[in-house]
Amino acid sequence: MKKILITGGAGFIGSHLARRMLNLGHEVTVMDNLFTGNKSNIYDLEVNPRFTFLLQDVTQPFWGQFDDIYNLACPASPIHYQRNPVETIKTSLLGMMNVLELALKTKARVLHTSTSEIYGDPLEHPQTETYWGNVNTIGPRSCYDEGKRAAETLCVDYAREYDVDVRMVRIFNTYGPNMHPRDGRVISNFIMQALRAEDITIYGTGDQTRSFQYVDDLLDGVLRLMDLNRSDLIDACRKHGFDIPVMNIGNPAEFTIRELAEKILELIPGSAGKLVFKELPMDDPQRRRPDISLARELLDWQPHVPLKDGLTKTIDYFRTKS
């Protein structure tokens, strides 16, 4: 049994991770300020004696003795993170510093969830971990993107300078139950609109592509990465030119936004919605798709859940929320 801290553990991905860790027999502390996280995501876990909920903002210093810390705290959808850009970037930066300081002092292992957003509007396709990205420092998305970029830098700096055991995943678009129904992101938007028999709003032409990963696939990758022996992992990373583990975790299957909308309309037969098109927001990336060769090789991992199956489960969840 391990003692595990999950920052942002009441959010979409964090709540799945907490549930999975409890099922594996671990002791789980979920820390969340409930800005975008929600108690309803972890309500069923609270009866478990191995579960603790801590209402705490990750930007404020905290203390605790944990074996593993999973750093997931940060609003992740533009509609949320742009509501208070200063708090968003502080969450990434101060949260990361607090996690790394705690890990340094307590010798905890850290899994930091970075994001495909660090690639910005990429000029290379698909994106490998060696691609440096194309991000605007002063745009409306910067509070998230640059906060996440600097958080990666903090991770490698603490790892190199203080030998903190940090592993990073760059998460590409992920979906599933417990997503925030009003997070403004494309899957929740489309499903909610279809369930309400409203028109489906597409920003831009709908020809921009995305890859969509079901949350269970993501967690499989994350757990494999955290289970690896440190020195073996570092050795394997070195062969690929990295001294600190950083890995894309996403589904390389590419769909256009228009295809996604059509698939969702198929799965919700009652929907009367048609597609309507609106102007693309500033700095919205045109295309993003992970190269997952590194995760395939080092973790023997790849996504398994087909989009249709994942969407069906997600739609079932959203029906309870609409």
Binding positions for a copy of itself, rule: CB under 8 A: 84-86, 88-90, 93, 97, 118, 120, 123, 132-138, 142-143, 146-147, 149-150, 152-158, 160-162, 242, 244, 246
Q: Using an 8 Å Cβ cutoff, are 167 and 245 in contact?
A: yes
Residue (83 or 274) nearer to a copy of itself, CB: 83
DSSP string, 252-274: --EEEHHHHHHHHHHHSTT----
Angle (CA) 84 86 88, round 5°: 70
SS3 of residue 219 by DSSP:
helix
Handedness of CA 53, 54, 58, 63 (dihedral sign): negative
List phi, psi (to 5°) of 222. -60, -45
Q: How far is the CB of 81 from a copy of itself (least distance, A)?
A: 11
144 as an active site residue: the answer is yes
Which tokens hold the place of 173?
């678009």
Q: How far is the CB of 316 from a copy of itself (least distance, A)?
A: 38
Q: How far is the CB of 138 from a copy of itself (least distance, A)?
A: 5
Gap between the Cα atoms of 278 and 214, Å rounded: 27
Gap between the Cα atoms of 91 and 95, Å rounded: 5
Check residue 159 and report its DSSP letter.
H
Residue (28 or 154) nearer to a copy of itself, CB: 154
Pairing status of strand 3-7 against strand 68-71: parallel
Active-site position among 81, 144, 158, 175: 144
Q: How far is the CB of 87 from a copy of itself (least distance, A)?
A: 9
Residue (28 or 244) nearer to a copy of itself, CB: 244
Q: How far is the CB of 168 from a copy of itself (least distance, A)?
A: 8
Residue 132 burial (CB count, 10 A): 12
Residue (64 or 133) nearer to a copy of itself, CB: 133
Residue (216 or 283) nearer to a copy of itself, CB: 283
Active site residues: 144
